[in-house]
Amino acid sequence: VTTFGLRMVDSQTLRVSKEQDHFLIVPRGVSYGEVSGSLLVKVNILGGVVNQGSSNLSVDCAAFSLHSAIYAARPDVRCIIHLHTPAAAAVSAMKCGILPLSHEALLIGDVAYYEYNGALDEEEDRIQLQKCLGPTCKVLLLRNHGVVALGETVEEAFYKIYHLQSACEIQVSCLSSAGGVENVILLDRDRYKPHGMGSVGWAGNTFGPMQKSRVGEHEFEALMRMLDNL
């Protein structure tokens, strides 16, 4: 994530394969440039440590509470990325929310909004968040705080957060240049409906039939090859 420009990541977690209630998280005090597989800590749904990994560093349970609430209500979600870059934080403070100003804004699909106070200590807050998110939405805007992207795969979560960040940057630049929402052209979501809104899309090529592929799969693999080539 940091390699490709999303440097203000607050937290990123991954549900462990075949262990529905166990999750991998980066321990407190480690920068994303330092992360390796052995450093990751395995926690349960409450944030309790199951496997410490190779470090003796603690887990930020307050930060994980947001992820925990989402995972508990959404068994389809396997990866969550939460960030608050300047652009994402700026859009989260706008009453208008994320506007359909660009192709990137349409690619992220439906957006849920939640009044976030920085923690989810009370069960009532967790339930309200889960209601706001609903059963299918994969982008969550935390008012005056930042954004969250969900994915049924790592590739999908990265795809969502990458385009979400781009959409926020475009919106901040557009509104500051135009002088307000009333001076910009909004795209008709029904008319300009992009492909690949679910977890599985269809990709065609010149010499063969349409084939199924996970959302973000090809882009993510290309980025991984870029890392390998470094």
- pTM equals 0.84
Q: Which residue has the higher pLDDT, 1 or 19?
A: 19
Percent over 90 (pLDDT), the chain: 59
- Kind plus residue range of the DSSP H or E element containing 70: helix 61-73
Mind listing the pLDDT tens digit for each residue in 60-70? 888 899 999 99
Eight-state DSSP code of residue 47: S
Instruction: State the Cα angle at 82 between 186 and 110, rounded to 5°.
Output: 35
**What secondary structure does DSSP assign to 143-190, as a single string?**
TTTEEEEEESSHHHHHHHHHHHHHHHHHHHHHHHHHTSGGGSPPP-TT
Mind listing the pLDDT tens digit for each residue in 71-84? 999 999 999 999 98
List the chain domain ranges. Answer: 9-199+211-228
pLDDT at 108 over 50: yes
Q: Which fold has domain 9-199+211-228?
A: L-fuculose-1-phosphate Aldolase (3.40.225)
What's the pLDDT score for residue 121? 76
Are 225 and 219 contacting, i.e. CB atoms less than 8 angstroms apart?
Answer: no
Mind listing the pLDDT tens digit for each residue in 161-218? 999 999 999 999 999 999 889 999 999 888 877 655 444 444 444 444 545 667 888 8
Mind listing the pLDDT tens digit for each residue in 34-54? 888 899 999 999 999 999 998
The phi, psi pair for 123, rounded to 5°, reads -60, -35
